[in-house]
Chains A and B, each alone.
Chain A
Amino acid sequence: MTPELARYITRRERVLDKVRRILVEHLHVARALDEIDPDAPLFGTGLGLDSVDAVELLVSMESELGVKLPNEGLSRAAMRTVNTLVDLALAHGRTDDVDG
């Protein structure tokens, strides 16, 4: 594995862990961190979030990861699964110094 790939995976794992913590600590998802699959749907019966939670999620993503959604279309696509949130944070957030 190249150092560049290793750095990417480490950074992605840290952001994934941070998003999982947001879901458990701010959104009260009743799961252990490692039970939250990266591809779990956020809404409906996936992790059970609703439209009220969506607002809290956006606020938490901004305060914890510096994510500001650039437009409405992107927000719909970004808020589908845990992994799409991680993608959003990596592309538009402040993730260089995220701790695991």
Chain B
Amino acid sequence: MSMDDEIRALRTSVALAAGDHVTCLRIEGEGAYEALDAVVACDLFLQDGQMRPSLLLDEQARPFADIHVARDDEAFYLLAEGPSPGELVEYFDKHFPPGIDAKATCCDGALLSVHGPYAWELCTAVLGPDVGSLPYLAFYRTDEAVCFRSGKTGEYGYDLLISPGELAAVREALLTEGRAFDLALAGLPALDQCALENGIFNVRREGRAGLSPLELGLQWRVSNRKEYVGSAALRARREAGAKARVVWAVAGAAVAEGDDVFLDEQRIGAVLATGFSVIRGEWVALLLLDRSYAFPGIDRFEASHAGERRPLRTVSAPLINNRSLYVSPQRHSYRERDESKMPPFVLSP
């Protein structure tokens, strides 16, 4: 199956992916809250069973890891992308405040993820009816898995933490039940392309460009009322003022990471990430532009690619009108879907 087919399945039905790129840690012990609160960039006002997206920053306020933190009574789960498990544990060992007896350890188990407008229905079939009513950014334990509802594709998304003894059986059940949903197996490149199309941060791509949450448009993921790793540097950057900001664009011809972006003969930025969108039928790109030009709705910019200028049109993210916006676990099912009643994937600008 091609990546385009993986993406079409993810956007219209269900896709199953391995979670090898995500590390699941558990933070527990006396003072786990205090230890984690001193490190993660978001406020930890979470009730039992709730989760929240945030960041781990380095001392220069650059993203170190893209995280979801979830409260489990007095302990926490942390789903992290970016660094290796060893690097994450080392980060916590280094930055947890002294005198607190909390530890970060890798969870015993493997992660599978299920994405798509009908992901909830497949998960319900395999893991039980309560999964279908799980709110966004919450988690729930079934007999077979810890089911985190988050997702980074713009569609319904579930990360399943499965114990080693249950992994083969759960995977087989998802594949078997998934036939009725035209389930596809999706790889990380397909997930990353969907994230790009939906304007969702990717720590393995733009997250390695040396930018802070100011330029990346991620201030909503960080607290403005507490200290944490990188907070002093972020405050200093904020006071100095960000000179550039990310903005999304579409192009009719290929553009590539590193291409310079011009307004007439003035260089105003560069392409940070790009990929062909089989859903939109054109290239989508993430640009880093001088702040005075970083706005959607402009069709005057050009990327310099392979010796020629290629027109860009900046747009607001998300770039996809996701079907998951219009599919309700209370009213719909994959079997009785009516494609003719679905709105278009791309709305007029």
Contact = CB atoms under 8 A, between A and B. Distances in A.
B162 to A, nearest CB: 25
Given A73-B343, A77-B347, A90 B297 contact: yes
Nearest to A79: B325
Interface residues of B, number: 29
Given A31-B224, A37-B220, A73-B343, A44 B136 contact: yes
Which of A38, A44, A46 gathers the greatest number of chain B CB atoms within 10 Å? A38
A39 B292 contact: no
Contacts of A27: none
B298 interface: yes
In the A-B complex, list the 3 residue pairs whose CB atoms are closest, starting with the nearest: A83-B316, A37-B217, A40-B220
Interface residues of A, number: 31
Interface in A1-47: 1-2, 5, 8-9, 12-13, 31-32, 35-41, 44-47
Interface of A: 1-2, 5, 8-9, 12-13, 31-32, 35-41, 44-47, 73-74, 76-77, 80-81, 83-84, 86-87, 90
B297 A8 contact: yes
A73 B298 CA distance: 24
A2 B224 contact: no
A62 B316 CA distance: 21
B220 A77 contact: no
Contacts of A13: 295
Nearest to A34: B238
Given A35-B224, A36-B219, 4 more contacts: A1-B263, A41-B220, A76-B326, A87-B349
